[in-house]
Structure formats: C-alpha cells, structure tokens
Structure 1
Amino acid sequence: MSGANESPLEYVSRVMRRLGARRVVFKLLANNDNSKQQIYFGSDFDVLRLIPHGDLVGETTKDKGLMYKASLKLSWIDIESDAPPSPAPGAQLIFYPRYPEVRMSGFLRGSALAPSKLMRPPTPEERSLRERSQRCLVLGICDDDTILAYSGVWDGRLARDANARIVSGKISKVATVFYELERPVQQGRILLLEKLSEIYHGGFIRSGRLNSAGTLVEYHAKNGAGYTLESLFGIVPNGRSEPDFHEWELKSHRSGAVTLMTPEPDSGTYRANLKKFLLEYGNCTDARRDFTGRHLIGIPNARSGLILRMEGYDSENNEVLDPNGGLTMRNAKGEVALAWTFNKILTHWSRKHAQTAYVAYKVEARDVNYYQFGPEVFLCSGADLGTFLKSMYEGVVYHDPGINMKLVDGEWKSKKRNQFRVAWKNIGDLYEVSERVLLSDFN
C-alpha cells in the first residue's frame, strides 16, 4: 500500500492531498457503521463545521423528533490505481438535534468505487467474529467542498495503523470522533497569531478593502476596521459564510456589540417588496428610508411596531419542533414582515463559527481612518447549537438591522444588512472556550 518510509495512513493521506484534499481525517468504524445503520459521525455540532455540506433541511420524524438532512459532495477513491474519484450522489449528513447525533447515509449508491462489501450490515455470525475488529474510514476535505473517501478492510494494516496512533495519544482529535495526522487547530492558531503579531507591530494602517479583483482600494466609511483587517489577510469581501484563515473566522472589535452573522431573510414583505417594507416599517424621508433598531424576541419594537418571535421552538426543552418555523417578525395584524427559517439560520451557524478570533483595534482619524490591530485578541471556539438557540430566545443574541434605500441621481439604491449581534460582555457565553492573548507577548 505504501512507500518504504510511509505508514498506511500517511500513504492514503498523500494520495488524497494529490487529488486536492487540504485536510485528511479518519475514523475507526465498528459493526454498527454500515449502509443500513449509517455511519456515526459523532454527537458534537462541530462535525457540521468540519464536514462541508449543503443547506440543512429539516423534517419531522415519528420517534426521533426533528432531523436535518444536508447533501454531501462525496466521492470514493481507489488508492491502488489512477482511476478518478467516483461520486456517490446520494451521500448526505443526517443531524438529530434532540440527541444530538450526526450520521452519514446514502454513501454507496451510484459510485463505482464504493466499498459496498465492506459497508454491508453484518450477519449475527459476522458481528460476533468482528467484535474486536475495525475498519478505518479516511476522508479528504477539499477546497471546493468535495469529500474524498476511502475505507480499509476489517482489521487491515490501515485500521491497525490508525488504532496504534490513537492508543499512543499522539494524534489530534477533531469533532468528537475523528482524528487527524497533523494538528490543524494548533497549527492554524500559531499561523494566525504570527500574522496578527506582524500586523500589530506594523503600527497604524490606512483604511482599505480589496475589490472583487483582489486590488486594494481606499475605504472612507467609518466601518472600515473589518475590511482593513480582511485586506491584510488577502480576503476579498464576498458574503460567504466559511472561515477566513486556516479555519479561523476573523472579526475586528473595539467596543459595544459584536456582529455574529448577517443572513438574509427567506420570506415576508421584505423579500417581496423592499420599498413597501421600508415605507410600512421604516423611518422615511423624501431622500432616504431606513429600517434600524434592536429587535428582541417577544418584545414589540417601538419604532417599527414589529415583534420578533421564535416560532416552532420549545423554549423549555431548548429544541426546534417545526422545520417550517424560525425567526419571524410580524406586525399587529399577524402579517409576516420578514422571516428566517431555522434551516437557514442553522446552516449559516454550522458553517461559520467553528473558531473565531476577535481582534481589538485602535483608530486614528486623519484624511481617512487609520487602524492598529491588537494587542488584545480573544480566541473563541465551541459554539454549540443549543447555546445559540437559547441565547437568541433570551435576547442575548438579537436582530439589529442596518437596512436602507437612498435616492441617488433620481434612482433608489438599496443596502441590506440584517445583523445578528451580541453585547461584548456576553460573547464568552456563546463559546465553550474563550482565550485572551496579547500579541505583544506572542513570539
């Protein structure tokens, strides 16, 4: 399987990286990991951040409560030939929030290279014989969200290599049940802090942003800190929800509230007719129309007259009950002004917030603003689903929109920014781990 100096895992990893994988993770499989019972991917919400997936779509079940499904771009590979990866178009993740539990299903159908014999449900005799045997599933995660998959045989060299590394304790564990040869979290953390330390010691930096072509241009608005920080990391603003740098999301912070995410609503008057929405619920003049102001769950907003509710959510058990529910703003007549489905909110949260670096900054007003980032940085990780839902319901996380239309040269120009924010003093409550680092001390 491998070269003279390579272990089976290292060889499979090298093959996957040659095919485009940027991360390679593996998991030992037990008897219950098969095509009928599905492959168990853990109980941690972080697996939804590790494994790239399509939109989460909820549906109710009779015995397991609400479950979410998300498509996967999974392809099986043959490590002994030059055969191209073979897609399994039915592959999907299934997430059961009640337990919580994540499983992979539909991973064999349609793929010529799928290891169907290795993944079939065992007979009672096979189950008994294989009680202490294992297979090793290796996944290669690519930049285009493709997942390369390979499985070793029962109690084969690959499984024995994986087991020995796990037992040694010298292997990096990620997302509850997966392992990784390298230590990406620590490696990414070091690279991030090295870059931020370099930026901090470089002093004040002129406000700017990268345009769509990746060219640095001046930025004159007051909210230039975030764009300037992103430009220093070569990040082009694009509204994507994926992390910014080596699995870390970057956010600049000075004082006040922190914007967590900016998903656009799925439905309501806002989606159907922005002009009508602003005229009915905004603050309007002849040249400008604005919709702003903090909206909290269950409390009427004095300015807009709208009430934000979490519909289809059981606050007592901290559980989503209705896949068609979500965050909904209604007027006094019960009409929907704007709404986000839980599908959209949870998809956005699952992709964006594995690890977040909140970077403090100072500002100097010259001909344009100049920013110095640091020395204080907060590294936060482990923002699970239950904590996020509860924080929204209790008003810790709230909707604070910045939506407007301006009359420019006789035409109305719109700007949409649906911000979900949290007060800085509460930011640590959203994460399992929050670490304060001073760049002045980092070497």
Structure 2
Amino acid sequence: MLGVPRSPLEVVADVMRKHGATRIFFKLLSNNDNSKQQIYFGGDFDVLRIIPHGEMSGEVSSRDGTVFKAPLNLSWLPSDLVGSSCPAPGAQLIFYPRYPEVRMSGFLRGCPIAPNHLMHAPTFEERALRIFKPRCLILGVCSNDRILAFAGAWDSDLSRDAVARIEDENANNIASVFYELQPPLQNSRLELINRLRLIYQSGAIPSQKMGPSGVALPYAARNGAGYTLESKFGIIPNGSSEPDFMGWELKAHSGAAVTLMTPEPDVGSYRDDLGQFLTSYGRSSDVRRDFTGRHQTGIICKTTSLILQMEGYDPHRVEITDPNGGLFLRDHAGKLAAGWTFKKLVGHWSKKHAQTAYVTYKKSAAAGENFYSYGPQILLGEGAELQTFLRALYSGSIYYDPGIKQTFEGTEWRSKKRNQFRVGWKNVGGLYRKSVFLTL
C-alpha cells in the first residue's frame, strides 16, 4: 500500500496537515474501544509523551486506586472532511497507574459532528459480527498541542488501508498501540549510532550552538556540551518537547551523575517566599543566599537539616495511594519546606522521551576557547516507565541535588534556581525497560 497516491489514510492526513497537524498517528479500534468503555491508548507510559495533554489532576477510585486525568484539546473533523473541525470539550486522558494503562474518555460529549454512530457500545450480536472488522482512529497532532480526530467505519476503505499498512510493516509502531503515518524510518538506533560514531571520530569540536538560521555559532558559556552535540545533529534549540533525532533524546554526560529533570516545587514555603526559604534552610549572608545538598528519600540532609519523604505511596505495591501526596522536604517540626506533588512528578515524567541516548564527553580548552570530545562510551535507554521512576525516587537511587541562590544586586535580590533530580551514572540503565552500554 505504501507509495499509492491518495490512499484513504493519506487523504485524511492531507486534510489534517492543512489544518496544522505536524504528526499523524492511527490506531485500530477493537470492540472494547467505545464511548462506554473508553478508548484504550496503551498499557505503558509512552503514549503520554506523544499525545499532548493539559495539567494532570488526581483522584482515588475504590475500584481502580489512584487515577490521573488530563484534558485534551481535541476536535473532530467532519465525516466528509469538508469544512471546519469542531471541539469535543469533554475529551480527556485517564491514566490508571495500578494496571498500568491509559484511556481516552469524553471524546464525543459536546461535539455535534463527533462520530457517535461509530463509537457506541456494541450489542452481543454486533460484537460477534465485527470482531475481525476493526474501525480506525486517526489523530493529527498540531504544534500548538491541538489534536484533530477522525474515525473510519468497520471494514471501510480507510480501515482496510490501516490494516494493510500494519500487516505489510509499512507504518511505524509507536507507543505500543499507535502507528505513525509516514514512510518507515530507517533503523533509528543504527542511524543514531552511526552519526555518533562520526562525531566521536571527528575529535575535539569547538563549543558551538546552532543559530536560528541553521548555522552553528561559537558559544562561550560553560554549558556548551549539550548545545555542541545538538549542533552536530543540526538541531536548533527551541524548547520543544519533541525528541532530538529520529525519536531519540540526546544527553551529553560527564562525571559520576546525570541530571534527569529540573522541576520547580509546586507546594511549600519555597513557593510562598523564596528568600525566607533560603534564610531558614540554606546558608545566607548580607549579599548571598545558597541552598545546596544531596537529599535522598528517608535521610536527613546534613547541609540543610531537611528530610525528603515520599508520602502517599505504597512501596510494596509500587503504587500511588494518595494523589495529593508526593515528594516532600520537611524540617524537624514537620513543616513543609518544598514539595513536588504526584501530579507534578507524573506530569513532568510523562514529558520525558521513551528513548534516550546518553553520550559521554570530555572538555578541553585552548586559546581561551572550549572544546568537546564525545564518546566512545554511550548508553541507550528505552522505555522510561512510571513505576520504575517512582521506585527509584523512593529508594534514593534518584536524589534531589539543588543549586539555588540569591545575590543582592543594587537594591534587590536576584534569584537563580536549579532544582535538579539526579541519578548516579551506574544506575541510569535501571530506569529503563531496556538499556545497553556501547562503545563507538
């Protein structure tokens, strides 16, 4: 089917692209994918990385345990693909950590052109009749996080096109149950390794950063390792959450630890008054205040006298029991100094990429200019699952290592905040479902 012009899937994709979609995903729908039972989006965390969603909120269900929900900016295209799309304001993702699985619900409510006739729960007779005749759901993801949706009926040309592409391996499987509509990528892992090998063989590279025009420019700041590596892949820094290269996130690494993420606390005195927080728990003088120190779960940090506690979490079942819980820094009196609620942690981790390449580097200097040499050791990690992440936080394998300061300049205090969560290099591989160390 690949290469046939204007195939049914491509017709829908072309319309979605005209409406602003930059990536097109599709999924075959089973009988259980309906408005009553919700649409199954996968049994792992990866789908939360490819489907843009709003802020998560948590609640407790007597049947399902802690459940997280996130709104979707989803609109349906008309059945004839002519005219404007129409929002489905009730659409949301529901993440069930206990199982784990992700489902979409509320995708018909409030939208007059939604395909209700394709999404009702089947009768027993309909279920038996349609068991080998799947429908097809297509999602177009736009750069502004808007999602366009379209559905093909049972045994329609559109659905048969989708089935044929999957059977002929002419579609890219992504996030377990979705496929991306584009020509099959070359082996992304092999392409990545080959590119990194060329970078390793090129030796020391002057510190640089890719400019907006696509031309590498000299970069003098100390944090040039990541920018220089990205420049060799032609990547222009833009703050996008998209993977860096063919589905892989790139991380330049040196030293004994890796910084995984830098989320700001969403609760505690840190949020209320940073200056008072630094005065109470950090080191301060008339012109400078600092907050540093390695904080591991369950251990009092000697530098700050604070203890990091994971509350609302059952380590035996590896399960969140209270959506209002999280990772909290408390003083000896139990006062909350700073904290990251589970909705903050889950939301932040959901943005991490499923495939990450950690590339070792060495830094050198000559004539006042910094140079970076990459490799030969790299680590490739695939499948960053939530349960593994939570287990690593609870055990202290992932630890909080902040670098926060305020300096008095002129008439006011100026802040520089870096709330780092780090992991020892030897423990990085354990965060992924699959990991391998390679030498270029």
* TM-score of the superposed pair, with normalisation by structure 2: 0.90
Amino acid at match of 2:313: Y
Match of 2:143 in 1: 143
Matched, 1:53 2:64: no
**Contact 1:211/1:237 (<8 A) preserved:** no
Matched, 1:403 2:404: yes
Larger deviation: 397-406 or 119-128?
119-128
Larger deviation: 348-357 or 302-311?
348-357
**Contact 1:3/1:11 (<8 A) preserved:** no
Q: Quick one: structure 1 residues 350 and 411, their matched pair in 2 at CA, closer, same or farther if it must change by over 3 Å? A: same
Matched, 1:263 2:260: no
Deviation of 1:375 after TM superposition, in Å, equals: 3.8
Deviation of 1:290 after TM superposition, in Å, equals: 1.2
Deviation of 1:266 after TM superposition, in Å, equals: 0.4
Q: Counterparts of 1:125-274 in structure 2 under 5 Å?
A: 125-182=125-182, 186=186, 188-189=188-189, 192-193=192-193, 196-197=196-197, 199-209=199-209, 216=217, 218-221=219-222, 223-230=223-230, 232=232, 233-236=234-237, 238=239, 242-274=242-274
Amino acid at match of 2:39: I
Deviation of 1:56 after TM superposition, in Å, equals: 1.8
Counterpart Cα distance in 2 of 1:5 and 1:235: 33
Counterpart Cα distance in 2 of 1:255 and 1:184: 37
1:149-171 deviation per Cα after TM superposition (whole angstroms, max 9, x unaligned): 11111121222222233334554
Match of 1:420 in 2: 421
Counterpart Cα distance in 2 of 1:102 and 1:50: 12
Deviation of 1:131 after TM superposition, in Å, equals: 3.3
Larger deviation: 310-319 or 73-82?
73-82
Q: Quick one: structure 1 residues 203 and 126, their matched pair in 2 at CA, closer, same or farther if it must change by over 3 Å? A: same
Deviation of 1:395 after TM superposition, in Å, equals: 0.8
**Contact 2:94/2:104 (<8 A) preserved:** yes
Counterpart Cα distance in 2 of 1:375 and 1:140: 39
Deviation of 1:357 after TM superposition, in Å, equals: 1.6
Counterpart Cα distance in 1 of 2:185 and 2:7: 23
Deviation of 1:48 after TM superposition, in Å, equals: 1.1
**Contact 2:289/2:405 (<8 A) preserved:** yes
Counterpart Cα distance in 1 of 2:382 and 2:365: 33
**Partner-residue secondary structure (3-state), 2:351:** helix
Amino acid at match of 1:72: L
Amino acid at match of 1:402: G
Deviation of 1:198 after TM superposition, in Å, equals: 5.4
Amino acid at match of 1:407: F
1:136-186 deviation per Cα after TM superposition (whole angstroms, max 9, x unaligned): 111122222222211111121222222233334554322222223447775
Query: For structure 1, which runs of at least 5 residues remain unmatched after alignment?
Result: none
Counterpart Cα distance in 2 of 1:171 and 1:354: 19
Q: Quick one: structure 1 residues 141 and 237, their matched pair in 2 at CA, closer, same or farther if it must change by over 3 Å? A: closer
**Partner-residue secondary structure (3-state), 1:228:** helix
Matched, 1:317 2:308: no
Counterpart Cα distance in 2 of 1:80 and 1:427: 49
Larger deviation: 330-339 or 149-158?
149-158
**Contact 2:326/2:340 (<8 A) preserved:** yes
Matched, 1:353 2:381: no
How many residue pairs match? The answer is 436
**Contact 2:378/2:439 (<8 A) preserved:** yes
Counterpart Cα distance in 1 of 2:212 and 2:157: 48
Counterpart Cα distance in 2 of 1:184 and 1:344: 35
Amino acid at match of 2:267: S
Larger deviation: 41-50 or 322-331?
41-50
Match of 2:334 in 1: 334
Matched, 1:301 2:316: no
Larger deviation: 310-319 or 174-183?
174-183
Match of 1:381 in 2: 382
Amino acid at match of 1:423: G
What percent identity do the matched residue pairs reach?
A: 56
Matched, 1:275 2:275: yes
Q: Quick one: structure 1 residues 48 and 183, their matched pair in 2 at CA, closer, same or farther if it must change by over 3 Å? A: farther
Counterpart Cα distance in 2 of 1:190 and 1:113: 44
Match of 1:394 in 2: 395
Amino acid at match of 1:334: G
Larger deviation: 401-410 or 207-216?
207-216
Amino acid at match of 2:111: S
**Partner-residue secondary structure (3-state), 1:393:** helix
Deviation of 1:65 after TM superposition, in Å, equals: 0.7
**Partner-residue secondary structure (3-state), 1:352:** coil
Larger deviation: 104-113 or 93-102?
104-113
Deviation of 1:373 after TM superposition, in Å, equals: 2.7
Deviation of 1:245 after TM superposition, in Å, equals: 4.0
Amino acid at match of 1:347: G
Match of 2:362 in 1: 362
Match of 2:32 in 1: 32
Deviation of 1:201 after TM superposition, in Å, equals: 4.8
**Partner-residue secondary structure (3-state), 1:427:** helix
**Contact 2:292/2:404 (<8 A) preserved:** yes
Amino acid at match of 1:248: W
Deviation of 1:405 after TM superposition, in Å, equals: 1.1
Larger deviation: 381-390 or 172-181?
172-181
Match of 2:82 in 1: 82
1:310-365 deviation per Cα after TM superposition (whole angstroms, max 9, x unaligned): 11001111100111100000000000000011001111101123221212212112
Q: Quick one: structure 1 residues 185 and 321, their matched pair in 2 at CA, closer, same or farther if it must change by over 3 Å? A: farther
Amino acid at match of 2:427: N
Deviation of 1:234 after TM superposition, in Å, equals: 3.8
Match of 2:69 in 1: 69
